[in-house]
Amino acid sequence: MEQLEQKAILVGVNLNHQEDFEYSMEELANLAEACDIEVVGTMTQNLPRVNKSHYIGTGKSGEVLALLEGQEGNLVIFNDELSPSQIRNLEADLQCKVIDRTILILDIFARRAKTREAQLQVEIAQLKYMLPRLIGLRESLGRQSGGVGTKNRGAGETRLELDRRRIEEKITVMSKELEVLVSHRQTQRKQRKKNDVPVVSLVGYTNAGKSTIMNALMEQFSTAPEKLVLEKDMLFATLETSVRNIPQPDNKSFLLTDTVGFVSKLPHHLIKAFRSTLEEVAEADLLIHVVDYSNPEYDRLIDITIQTLKEIGITDIPTLYAYNKSDLTDRHIPQVEGDKIYLAAKPRIGIPELVEAIRERIFKDYIRCDMLIPYDQGAVVSYLNESAHILSTEYEEAGTKISMECRLSDYGKYKQYVVEATE
């Protein structure tokens, strides 16, 4: 999308009167805006099923063409992923560039990707999207440069084959590079797992406030400011997964991860490409599903998030719902109702309540006990000082007597020193 001044008509087909149709058109306009495209008109159609060759009904194409001319548009954006032949037919009818929701999302991701891993993931998804559409792309390029002509068809097809092979090779090379980066992160994750620190993952729709919650938690437990993550009012501000330690005064610390947000109709290739980024989420002990409670459509966005998680294979991780941005609603905050917490991360309302709810859920396997540790086992004493919640320490004749709350796994490991325990 290198051209300047793109003026687009948005086109959507409402299949069987979907309730979320209007919102998804609004969202399409936001996605276009995120790509610096000006929206100059919108056209929608109710259909029981899409038209195989043109997506919209044939009569409707004429209407889109008229609107395009009336508004001096030079681009048409469809609200669903189009097939290669649909793009080709539509471009022939409308005599301008036709793109779909998938390209828009891929383009936004490409603009936002900062780390090598994210860049590779996006580029692979883009190439995979392009591969079956090369013919259409070539024709539309031909049209843009003024000549369509059939006389060079043979040469064009050879070029096409070459292009296809080049792209396939590029995908292979990039996938290998990505694999190396991913395996590096997997090693780090295994290391963390060994340390037995619980992992909590923020998930949710894009722009719900996940990164803001992450920063609020770091701020509360005075983490270094350079660890803060980017929070911004734009779609897909976060594309990479960040893991941060949230230290707790009683040694019941946990790791918090912030990751990419979701959107309706997230391209399939993109989900696949980002699967490795989301592995972090798949291994979490607890999910915080962040909801923009000020969005009237919040219920639907919850469903889309749950659906997308399902697609990555995440279905049975215990979940807390953080109804964020409640400061923009008339709900009294903070408020905790079972697994739902109404809060506002930006003005920092309800953060301690959220932390408490997290702790209640992830530190269930703790046990209150006393251990008597012989003086020649100094290493055990220092380990417990770092990983258990110490209530008191006394120095007795036979060794150090520690009253504490510790993890069940540590209790098992040092059972021989236990003198008293209550669950």
Residues that bind ligand GTP (CB under 6 A): 204, 206-212, 231-233, 235-238, 261, 290, 324-325, 327-328, 344-346
DSSP state string for 361-388: HH-TTEEEEEEEE-TT-HHHHHHHHHHS
Q: Choose the contact partner of 400 out of ligand GTP, Mg ion, none; CB within 5 to 8 A by kind.
A: none
CB of 288 to Mg ion, least distance (A): 13
Contact 48, 42 (CB under 8 A): no
CB of 228 to Mg ion, least distance (A): 12
> Which residues, other chains included, contact 43 with Cβ-Cβ below 8 Å and sequence gap of 6+?
9, 10, 11, 12, 60, 63, 64, 67
Nearest C-alpha neighbor of 143 from the set 96, 100, 98, 99: 96
CB of 269 to Mg ion, least distance (A): 22
Is residue 260 at the binding interface for Mg ion, with CB under 5 A as the rule? no
Taking CB positions, which residue lies at the least distance from ligand GTP? 261
Closer to ligand GTP by Cβ: residue 236 or 321: 236
CB of 211 to Mg ion, least distance (A): 3
Closer to ligand GTP by Cβ: residue 64 or 343: 343
Q: Choose the contact partner of 369 out of Mg ion, ligand GTP, none; CB within 5 to 8 A by kind.
A: none
Contact 200, 286 (CB under 8 A): yes
Is residue 238 at the binding interface for Mg ion, with CB under 5 A as the rule? yes
CA 224 to each of CA 13, 104, 246, 247: distance values in angstroms, whole numbers, following the listed order: 49, 36, 11, 12
Beta strands in 248-356 (DSSP E): 254-258, 286-292, 319-324, 335-337, 340-342
Closer to Mg ion by Cβ: residue 202 or 369: 202
Q: Choose the contact partner of 233 out of Mg ion, ligand GTP, none; CB within 5 to 8 A by kind.
A: ligand GTP
Q: Choose the contact partner of 324 out of ligand GTP, Mg ion, none; CB within 5 to 8 A by kind.
A: ligand GTP
Closer to ligand GTP by Cβ: residue 101 or 325: 325
DSSP state string for 236-248: T---S-EEEEE--
CB of 282 to ligand GTP, least distance (A): 18
- The tokens describing 204, both together, are 């949710």
Closer to Mg ion by Cβ: residue 61 or 212: 212
CA 263 to each of CA 190, 203, 208, 209, 236: distance values in angstroms, whole numbers, following the listed order: 30, 12, 11, 14, 9
Stretch that binds Mg ion, among 3-11, 86-94, 107-115, 229-237 (CB under 5 A): 229-237
Positive or negative torsion for Cα 110, 116, 118, 121: positive
Show the 3-state SS of 64-77: HHHHHHHCCCCEEE
Contact 11, 78 (CB under 8 A): yes
Contact 346, 212 (CB under 8 A): yes
Torsion angles phi and psi, residue 242, rounded to 5? -115, 135
Q: Choose the contact partner of 61 out of ligand GTP, Mg ion, none; CB within 5 to 8 A by kind.
A: none
CB of 293 to ligand GTP, least distance (A): 9
Is residue 208 at the binding interface for Mg ion, with CB under 5 A as the rule? no
DSSP state string for 75-104: EEEESSPPPHHHHHHHHHHH-SEEEEHHHH
Stretch that binds Mg ion, among 169-177, 238-246, 270-278, 297-305 (CB under 5 A): 238-246
Euclidean distance between CA atoms 408 and 196, whole angstroms: 11
Is residue 201 at the binding interface for Mg ion, with CB under 5 A as the rule? no
CB of 345 to ligand GTP, least distance (A): 4
Is residue 237 at the binding interface for Mg ion, with CB under 5 A as the rule? yes
Q: Choose the contact partner of 12 out of Mg ion, ligand GTP, none; CB within 5 to 8 A by kind.
A: none
CB of 324 to Mg ion, least distance (A): 12
Chain contacts with Mg ion (rule: CB under 5 A)? 210-211, 237-238
